[in-house]
Structure 1
């Protein structure tokens, strides 16, 4: 038998005669490999959950799996060497130095650039996606003249909820396109891993307990989005602040919710959901994601006291909408960046066919919103709400977003407009002129579906 030896370039080099060694069929070669592996005392297996969000999104029915489906989903296929090692040696929890370095390098890259899906996975997601075309004129959405906020919403602006067309989404990734084919939102599905749904269940329990915190229940009556406890955590700027601040950070005395906020952010299940939301943002709005990364990185370097909520998420702020009855009234989050995306994940235990839907009056859509799924929308400029759940059901939600004031502060040279006007009038006039074009600049950052399809084609990298 002749074999060609290949060099590092992958091209065949010299040929040589090789006589295969035949072993008895009774020899369990896999067991021998397992035994040899155990003798390598410094080789351990790291946790598989560290990069699960970079996997392809779930492409399954939005309906909860039947008992038969749930049972079949737990049946494992042929053992990979890694999984067979883990199952045979569950005590192997530590990682070797090389594994640790690779994981550190991988995490640092995600922090710097965001989640970057593999080209084949990206292409698979877009191939399976079914774009939803609408007649929305995104350029006519109510952004302010400065381009970093949106106009406030009043309930009188729309009263046609009962005439909205229903979108019975089947769980497959579904980008929402405007009249110019720009992706202005997306139903992103959820991670195809049973452990992810378990993380969602754990996060709901965390939120439900947070809702019982002294003070949150009392503050719920002042929540303009609905009658449920909510706590915003992270970095923001606006409504009278002189510079970006960390919410719930104790200054001279402890903040009312400082310890609660810290407990929430350190929860590993919530971190997993936050990472997945950020990866969805990178997939469906890569240019805006890059805009976040580049600007916020400058902010973190300039003001090192600012703390990221989650290491692998690009979003600077989040909202914990506590259970057990978290559903919102119609509103716009006008303080958010108008061309930015808000990532929303539904949590709890409810029948998504009968309640919890996401209502988008501007698009004349009602979207089924199952537990664990992620939906991206420009929450500053699109009116949105939820349909109430049934009396015996429970629901919470988790959102991530970015305040437009942060980007205005950066554009002003890391100061307020008043401070800039006093310090540098020439620069101030330049910034005022740029404000008039910021909204149109943001619209250009929104990706067209056809552009995403081309950029995700693995063959395009070879051209």
Structure 2
């Protein structure tokens, strides 16, 4: 066995030397690494097989192909190798486009003008939405309102709407102090309300249990954009539907400013229908939602923020819409889709006649759905460090709302109003920085404030979730209450 093994090793060595000798004899004195000998032997064998088809090849002219006898090859003969499988395919005649740098995609990493980095990964929209809703992305500042308690909200017995102002504690005192312009001093100095100034970052407001119930955005980038006609976005919020009558103004329990409500509701109606003001000004209200308008942009902005920050409330609107679309009455089905994305109702508040700006008195939006947010978008030209900070009475908060911000909060659950911080005798420099004796000056009132409000009224959701009016549900012995525990549990936790 030893001799046989030794012989095989010797034979292998001689075969390798044969390859080396053959290569050097054909191509001259070149150096070959030992590891390349076997590979080169296979290549030489394939070369010989291909060259035998051409008897005129000068390298193989001395090889005889037909009689099996070899001519005088170099001094040594080729070792025995396994014949490789060679396939001679026709070259494809398909057109190969010429290289044009302008046609190269960024992901063609070996092309001219581009680096070898990977193409960007497509962002997953659903995951991004979850990250924003949970606070992992664009993490806002958080303010804890220890007076607020969303586990025990102030609602009617049925749970559908917020408790009316008539049944709220301290309403007379609030209204009296507001008229006297002394309310802000009482709230800040005596009751130690938390003030939330605007610092250029979004703010999430949570209750004592950690449930987020309100959210204030940053001023969006489109606030200072210019439309095709040269008009600034921030200048597009004039009154579009004409002035209100004196009777309409007197009926407004929020103030003497201009106000209008459009959209679909079911207030004192057997089935949902558009508001009277909407029908009286149909062309003008439809023009508000043209894709080229600022109102359209605000509605889309408000709805997207609502979906991201309060996804449970957004699902409730989607479920309401889906339920109404299945109603047997066509008059209900055609109005099932909200006119304003996630909101069935829309309101513009603005200056009118001798009322130069909007500043609402203490009130509750008692007809709105309790476990739902309204969206307030502030517009106009005024000193927001002084004018119209938002008070949430039961939460113990006073919130600065500069033009351009969007504020989401359950307006049916909290008494709210606007107060002027100038009544505290606050002073500031013109650019809002901390004053010094040389730069301090008293603040003065600035008119011109307005707002856009998007909201959902309780009767629409009663009709959708009960399948009928409250009266019909009671007559049939069905439960007419709203299970708010489900909607409270859907609130984001901080």
* Pairwise TM-score range, normalised by the shorter structure: 0.5 to 0.7
Query: How many Å separate the matches in 2 of 1:442 and 1:121?
Result: 19
Query: How many Å separate the matches in 1 of 2:227 and 2:401?
Result: 17
* C-alpha contact 1:336 1:404 (8 A) present in aligned 2: yes
Is it true that 1:183 corresponds to 2:236 in the alignment? no
Match of 2:201 in 1: 172
Match of 1:137 in 2: 149
Counterpart pick for 1:268 among 279, 293, 308: 293
Match of 2:405 in 1: 373
1:381 is paired with a residue of what secondary structure?
Answer: coil
**TM-score after normalising by structure 2:** 0.59
Instruction: Report 1:12-411 matches (<5 A).
Output: 33=102, 117-118=128-129, 126-135=137-146, 136-154=148-166, 155-156=171-172, 158=174, 161=184, 162-164=186-188, 165=193, 166-193=195-222, 205-210=235-240, 213-216=242-245, 219-238=248-267, 240-248=268-276, 255-266=279-290, 268-302=293-327, 303-306=332-335, 308=337, 310=339, 313-323=341-351, 324-387=356-419, 391-411=445-465
Consecutive unaligned residues of structure 2, counting only runs of 5 or more, are 1-98, 106-124, 178-182, 423-443
Query: How many Å separate the matches in 1 of 2:285 and 2:217?
Result: 27
Q: Give the root-mean-square deviation of aligned CA atoms.
A: 3.2
Alpha carbons of 1:184 and 1:124: their partners in 2 closer, same or farther (altered >3 Å)?
closer
Alpha carbons of 1:196 and 1:339: their partners in 2 closer, same or farther (altered >3 Å)?
farther
Query: How many Å separate the matches in 2 of 1:222 and 1:207?
Result: 23
* Larger Cα-atom Rg: 2
Query: How many Å separate the matches in 2 of 1:121 and 1:391?
Result: 37
Query: How many Å separate the matches in 1 of 2:469 and 2:223?
Result: 47
* C-alpha contact 2:223 2:233 (8 A) present in aligned 1: no
How far 1:258 sits from its partner (Å)?
Answer: 2.4
Query: How many Å separate the matches in 2 of 1:224 and 1:127?
Result: 38
Query: How many Å separate the matches in 1 of 2:136 and 2:489?
Result: 23
Paired positions, count: 326
Query: How many Å separate the matches in 1 of 2:254 and 2:131?
Result: 40
Consecutive unaligned residues of structure 1, counting only runs of 5 or more, are 1-28, 38-109, 450-463
Match of 2:470 in 1: 417
1:209 is paired with a residue of what secondary structure?
Answer: coil
In terms of fraction of residues, the more helix-rich structure is: 1
Query: How many Å separate the matches in 1 of 2:449 and 2:142?
Result: 28
Alpha carbons of 1:140 and 1:121: their partners in 2 closer, same or farther (altered >3 Å)?
closer
How far 1:246 sits from its partner (Å)?
Answer: 1.4
How far 1:126 sits from its partner (Å)?
Answer: 4.4
1:131 is paired with a residue of what secondary structure?
Answer: strand
- Greater relative contact order structure (CA < 8 Å, 6+ sep): 1
Instruction: Report 1:419-434 matches (<5 A).
Output: 419-422=472-475, 425=476, 428-429=477-478, 431-432=479-480
**TM-score after normalising by structure 1:** 0.63
How far 1:216 sits from its partner (Å)?
Answer: 4.7
